[in-house]
Amino acid sequence: MKLSEVEPGKNVLDLVVRIVSVAPPKMVNTRTGRKTQLTEVLVADETGSTILSLWGFGEGSDLSAGKVIRIDDGWAKDWRGKVQLSLGRSGKYEILVDDDSVPSISEIGAATESTGPEG
């Protein structure tokens, strides 16, 4: 699966992307009034870029710019007119050995310069 194939309201299966940047975690209040941590990760492949939202304390602490990850059983949603990814209840990510099939950050660069974790 490629980012260009991701559609809001659909599962995300076997998506391999490169991390462009990781925003500092921030504390947020959920709709139920519970406090939790949100880490927003800008990810990209040769077809585009988007934000991966990681919910929960410590989620994403092992991620950094340049790493390649595989997202499996994630979820796509529309957030303020843009497609965003999350892991939902059963999704997971796996850090992969650097994969030449995913463009480097410098190759992705121009496509992501106007976007970022802040949005």
- Kind and range of the H or E run holding 92: strand 92-96
Asked whether the predicted pLDDT for residue 114 surpasses 50, the reply is: no
Mean pLDDT, range 29-55, rounded to an integer: 93
Domain ranges of the chain: 3-97
Model's pTM, two decimal places?
0.84
- Is beta strand 26-29 parallel, antiparallel or unpaired with respect to 11-12? unpaired
pLDDT digits (tens, 9 = 90+) for 16-26: 999 999 999 99
pLDDT digits (tens, 9 = 90+) for 52-96: 999 998 899 999 999 999 999 999 999 888 899 999 888 999 999
CATH code of the domain occupying 3-97: 2.40.50.140
DSSP one-letter string for 22-78: EPPPEEEE-TTS-EEEEEEEEEEETTEEEEEEEESTTTTTT--TT-EEEEESEEEEE
